[in-house]
């Protein structure tokens, strides 16, 4: 064993192996820097005789991953990988795709398969090999700028073996919490926009109050520290490597011109590199930046070429100079400075281009709050390593003024309650997704979450008995989501058992109420095998499931089902000489199963050979382990041998009666005239 996985990746790998065996599909969604590519390489190592078709957005990403693997394992690289980029795959003919003949398929950065052209290539491959297990790896499953498409649903039917958010990874200590420095670079246009909003208000009180806070915000911003002072204060590694993300080529050139002004207090002659090629391998600047070990400050200005899959050793931090971007890109850029193998805390400079982007870190903080609450609800306090990370708000006073201005101009509790009531009237419940926004742009999902947190005392705010009563009237759920989720899914499972007499639920099965029962049961099986989430899947809950026919192993379940059919066949026919195309009256393909058992015992074909106990049980009902072709050969051989013995006895009788010797190699010389 050469590849040693981190504990979080080990649990994910074990769950993925179960999913691949049972469903032929498994997705692993872990944030940038957690080493998820090693999960794919581990699959290659554990299946050395299998051909692995590995797909990736670029050759450079794959090359970087193999270099990291080689470094971690002292030189080991799997030799059973056939690699293609998604771009190359889409140009392959059907004949070329048929030549691949993979035993496993790995889709790296699988959210990228949603692109139209790349997606067509992947679709052709998967249609050609529908029974080949597919493993997907990505930091996200959502295509935020493509109608929020969830590629784990589209490609893997929701078979997510493991999912960890960036916030959860920090909470669990998988990634070290960064030092996060927040500031503003440009704000004059925003002030003008707020001034227009204030003037448009129909309320004189709102106009007066808004104007007061706007003027205070303007003065505070003008008195705040400049960018040069902020960098000088927080860049402690004066010869460190920093990646500077820009929004466009023009923007990058503009930011490079400002570098002498911004960083002069740290290094009069910083080493500046710029890289914007689609393929970093062809960029001399990128290679030079990686190899630069000088005592100077090193700055790599780039656009989006380092968003995913590419790591640079010894990065001290990143500088985000960007307009609003998708959550995927934002987290990927932060991830350039975070790594599961890194022991130091990186610094992230979030130099937002406008004051409305001051809350970009909020989603990660919310993920941390959710993860912390989740593990506490399970009683797994030991899992929580970091509840917070250091956020240095260099415009704190500005943020406070901005909050007051927003409060004056934004929604009241009653307005948000009306939004919640409309949602309830439309959908019949208040299970609002955390990222849900109304048509008017109000964050209803966040508001609902905050009401629960206020009631539990985890968040300050006003929630009177009257407000609680009003929310109760429109179906507000106050309990922990994990308990609610268990109740909803278990009740759906119980109803299915009452209706059908079993829990042999198809993985895609969704109830009329929208409960994804098949996926939930699949997750429970994976958790039980991997030994994770023990506080959720308690012994008491496992017992309750078993009382309604829970199938913990579909492989065992199907074996027992086929064995029962074999017993019935034996009782009716007195043997297990089952024709290969035989199907039992209740639809069991018994002939094919008997043939498969014979091959698996001989070590042929894919699958787990029957156990010693299973072999004995089959022997007790007359199992014939020889393959049909072997059995026919043995029968023909026995017949031929019988004929030979009869001939020998006949010749012996002739010899006795005629008293004639028939010398030959066998002791007789056969004379054709005798016959």
**Per-residue model confidence as pLDDT tens digits over 173-190:** 888 888 888 887 766 667
Instruction: Say what the pLDDT of residue 115 is.
Output: 82
- Residue 320 dihedral angles phi and psi, to the nearest 5°: -100, 105
Does residue 371 carry a pLDDT above 70? yes
Say if strands 391-393 and 179-184 run parallel, antiparallel, or are unpaired.
parallel
pLDDT tens for 153-163 read 899 988 999 99
Stretch 393-418: mean pLDDT, rounded?
72
pLDDT tens for 444-487 read 877 887 788 788 776 666 788 888 999 999 988 876 556 667 88
Does residue 126 carry a pLDDT above 70? yes
Instruction: Say what the pLDDT of residue 355 is.
Output: 56
Beta strands in 142-228 (DSSP E): 142-143, 149-150, 160-163, 179-184
Considering the chain, what percentage of its residues have pLDDT values greater than 70? 77
Query: DSSP letters of 326-357?
Result: -HHHHHHHHHTT--TT--SPPEEEEEESSGGG
Instruction: Say what the pLDDT of residue 487 is.
Output: 81
Whole-angstrom distance, CA of residue 522 vs CA of residue 160: 10
Does residue 630 carry a pLDDT above 80? no
Radius of gyration for the alpha carbons in the chain, expressed in angstroms and rounded:
34
Stretch 542-550: mean pLDDT, rounded?
86
Instruction: Say what the pLDDT of residue 671 is.
Output: 45
Instruction: Say what the pLDDT of residue 640 is.
Output: 62
Please give the C-alpha separations between residue 444 and each of 220, 356, 450, 616, in angstroms, as whole numbers. Answer: 31, 18, 10, 61
CB 283 within 8 A of CB 228: no
- CA 45, 51, 55, 61 dihedral sign is positive
Confidence of residue 109 (pLDDT cuts 50, 70, 90): very high
Instruction: Say what the pLDDT of residue 578 is.
Output: 85
Does residue 673 carry a pLDDT above 50? no
- DSSP label at residue 323: S
Instruction: Say what the pLDDT of residue 533 is.
Output: 67
Range in 298-307, 545-554, 633-642 with the lowest mean pLDDT: 633-642
- Per DSSP, the three-state class of 106 is strand
CB 52 within 8 A of CB 43: yes
Q: How many CB atoms lie within 10 A of CB 158?
A: 22
Whole-angstrom distance, CA of residue 607 vs CA of residue 155: 24
Instruction: Say what the pLDDT of residue 587 is.
Output: 77
Instruction: Say what the pLDDT of residue 357 is.
Output: 53
Does residue 276 carry a pLDDT above 50? yes
Write out the two tokens for 222. Answer: 């003008």
Name the residue among 326, 332, 272 with its Cα closest to residue 297. Answer: 272
- Per DSSP, the three-state class of 246 is coil
Does residue 94 carry a pLDDT above 90? yes
SS3 string, 264-318, reads CCCCCCCEEEEECCCCHHHCHHHHHHHHCCCCCCEEEEECCCCCCCCCCCCEEEE
- Per DSSP, the three-state class of 391 is strand
Instruction: Say what the pLDDT of residue 36 is.
Output: 92
User: Exposure pattern of 169-192 as b/e (b: 16+ CB <10 Å)?
Assistant: bbbbebbbbbbbbbbbeebeebee
Higher-confidence position of 407 and 431: 431
Instruction: Say what the pLDDT of residue 302 is.
Output: 85
Higher-confidence position of 476 and 365: 476
Instruction: Say what the pLDDT of residue 46 is.
Output: 96
pLDDT tens for 210-262 read 888 888 888 877 777 788 899 999 998 999 999 998 878 888 898 999 998 89
Instruction: Say what the pLDDT of residue 27 is.
Output: 95
Higher-confidence position of 121 and 520: 121
Cβ-defined contacts of 608-615 (< 8 Å, 24+): 608/555, 614/559, 614/563
Whole-angstrom distance, CA of residue 122 vs CA of residue 110: 10
Does residue 664 carry a pLDDT above 50? no
**Mean pLDDT across the chain:** 80
Instruction: Say what the pLDDT of residue 448 is.
Output: 84
CB 379 within 8 A of CB 212: no
Does residue 626 carry a pLDDT above 60? yes
Name the residue among 582, 590, 583 with its Cα closest to residue 564. Answer: 590
Stretch 389-408: mean pLDDT, rounded?
72
Range in 246-250, 281-285, 539-543, 664-668 with the lowest mean pLDDT: 664-668
CB 597 within 8 A of CB 618: yes
Write out the two tokens for 167. Answer: 């916030």
- Per DSSP, the three-state class of 386 is coil
Report the predicted TM-score, pTM, of the whole model to 2 decimal places. 0.55
Confidence of residue 670 (pLDDT cuts 50, 70, 90): very low
CA atoms within 13 A on the CB side of 498: 6
Does residue 675 carry a pLDDT above 50? no
Query: DSSP letters of 510-532?
Result: --TT---HHHHHHHHHHHHHHT-
Instruction: Say what the pLDDT of residue 667 is.
Output: 45
Does residue 79 carry a pLDDT above 70? yes
Confidence of residue 408 (pLDDT cuts 50, 70, 90): low
Instruction: Say what the pLDDT of residue 122 is.
Output: 95
Confidence of residue 270 (pLDDT cuts 50, 70, 90): very high
Considering the chain, what percentage of its residues have pLDDT values greater than 90? 25
Instruction: Say what the pLDDT of residue 434 is.
Output: 66
Q: State the Cα torsion 513-519-520-522 to the nearest 10°.
A: 150
Please give the C-alpha separations between residue 355 and each of 211, 388, 406, 412, in angstroms, as whole numbers. Answer: 17, 23, 11, 22
Of the segments 237-246, 510-519, 612-621, which one has the largest average pLDDT value?
Answer: 237-246
Range in 108-122, 401-415, 609-623 with the lowest mean pLDDT: 401-415
Cβ partners under 8 Å of residue 56, min gap 6: 62, 65, 83, 85, 86, 108, 109, 309
Name the residue among 483, 505, 507, 479 with its Cα closest to residue 494. Answer: 505
Name the residue among 37, 153, 89, 95 with its Cα closest to residue 510. Answer: 153
Say if strands 179-184 and 347-352 run parallel, antiparallel, or are unpaired.
parallel
Cβ partners under 8 Å of residue 276, min gap 6: 249, 252, 283, 302, 303, 305
Say if strands 160-163 and 391-393 run parallel, antiparallel, or are unpaired.
unpaired
Stretch 412-437: mean pLDDT, rounded?
83
Stretch 184-204: mean pLDDT, rounded?
73
């Amino acid at each position: 064993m050469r590849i040693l996985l981190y504990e979080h990746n080990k649990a994910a790998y074990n769950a993925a192996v179960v999913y691949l065996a049972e469903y032929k599909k498994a997705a692993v969604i872990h944030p940038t820097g957690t080493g998820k590519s090693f999960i794919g390489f581990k699959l290659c190592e554990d299946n050395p005789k299998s051909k692995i078709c590995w797909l990736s957005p670029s050759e450079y990403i794959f090359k970087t991953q193999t270099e990291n693997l080689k470094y971690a394992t002292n030189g080991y690289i799997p030799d059973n990988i056939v690699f293609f980029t998604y771009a190359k795959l889409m140009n392959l003919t059907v004949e070329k795709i048929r030549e691949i003949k993979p035993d496993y398929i790995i889709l790296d950065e699988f959210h990228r398969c949603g692109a139209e052209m790349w997606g067509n290539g992947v679709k052709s491959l998967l249609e050609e090999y529908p029974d080949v297990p597919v493993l997907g790896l990505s930091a996200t499953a959502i295509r935020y700028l493509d109608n929020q498409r969830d590629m784990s649903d589209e490609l893997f039917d929701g078979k997510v073996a493991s999912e960890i958010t960036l916030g959860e990874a920090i909470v669990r200590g998988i990634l070290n919490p960064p030092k996060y420095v927040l500031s503003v670079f440009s704000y004059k246009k925003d002030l003008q926009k707020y001034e227009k909003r204030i003037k448009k208000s129909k309320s004189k009180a709102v106009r007066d109050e808004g104007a007061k806070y706007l003027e205070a915000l303007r003065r505070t911003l003008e008195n705040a520290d400049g960018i040069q002072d902020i960098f000088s204060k927080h860049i402690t590694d004066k010869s460190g490597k920093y990646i500077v993300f820009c929004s466009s080529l023009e923007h990058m050139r503009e930011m490079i011109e400002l570098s002498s002004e911004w960083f002069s207090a740290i290094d009069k002659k910083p080493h500046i590199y710029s890289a914007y090629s689609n393929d970093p391998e062809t960029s001399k600047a990128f290679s030079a930046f990686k190899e630069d070990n000088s005592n100077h400050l090193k700055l790599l200005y780039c656009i989006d070429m380092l968003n995913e899959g590419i790591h640079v050793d010894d990065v001290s931090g990143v500088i985000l100079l960007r307009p609003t971007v998708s959550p995927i890109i934002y987290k990927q850029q932060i991830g350039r400075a975070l790594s599961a193998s890194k022991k130091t805390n990186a610094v992230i400079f979030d130099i937002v281009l406008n004051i409305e982007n001051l809350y970009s870190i909020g989603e990660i903080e919310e993920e941390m709050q959710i993860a912390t609450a989740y593990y506490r609800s399970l009683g797994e306090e030991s899992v929580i390593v970091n509840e917070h990370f250091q956020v240095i708000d260099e415009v704190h006073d500005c943020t406070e003024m901005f909050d007051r201005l927003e409060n004056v101009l934004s929604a009241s509790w009653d307005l948000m309650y009306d939004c919640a009531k409309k949602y309830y009237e439309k959908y019949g419940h208040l299970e609002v997704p955390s990222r849900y926004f109304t048509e008017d742009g109000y964050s209803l999902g966040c508001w609902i979450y905050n009401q629960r947190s206020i009631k539990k005392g985890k968040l300050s705010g006003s929630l009177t008995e009257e407000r609680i009563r009003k929310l109760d009237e429109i179906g507000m759920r106050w309990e922990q989501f994990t308990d609610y989720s268990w109740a909803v899914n278990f009740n759906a499972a119980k109803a299915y058992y009452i209706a059908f007499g079993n829990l042999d639920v198809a993985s895609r099965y969704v109830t009329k109420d929208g409960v994804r029962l098949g996926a939930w049961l699949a997750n429970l099986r994976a958790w039980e095998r991997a030994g994770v989430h023990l506080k959720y899947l308690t012994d008491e809950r496992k017992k309750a499931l078993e009382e309604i026919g829970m199938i913990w192993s579909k492989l065992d379940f199907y074996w027992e089902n086929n064995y029962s059919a074999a017993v019935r066949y034996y009782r009716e026919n007195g043997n297990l000489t089952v024709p290969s195309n035989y199907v039992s009256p209740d639809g069991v393909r018994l002939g094919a199963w008997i043939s498969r058992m014979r091959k698996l015992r001989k070590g042929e074909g894919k699958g787990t050979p029957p156990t010693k106990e299973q072999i004995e049980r089959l022997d007790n009902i007359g199992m014939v382990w020889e393959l049909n072709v072997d059995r026919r050969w043995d029968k023909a051989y026995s017949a031929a041998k019988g004929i030979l013995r009869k001939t020998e006895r006949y010749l012996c009788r002739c010899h006795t009666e005629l008293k004639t010797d028939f010398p030959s190699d066998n002791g007789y010389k056969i004379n054709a005239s005798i016959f």
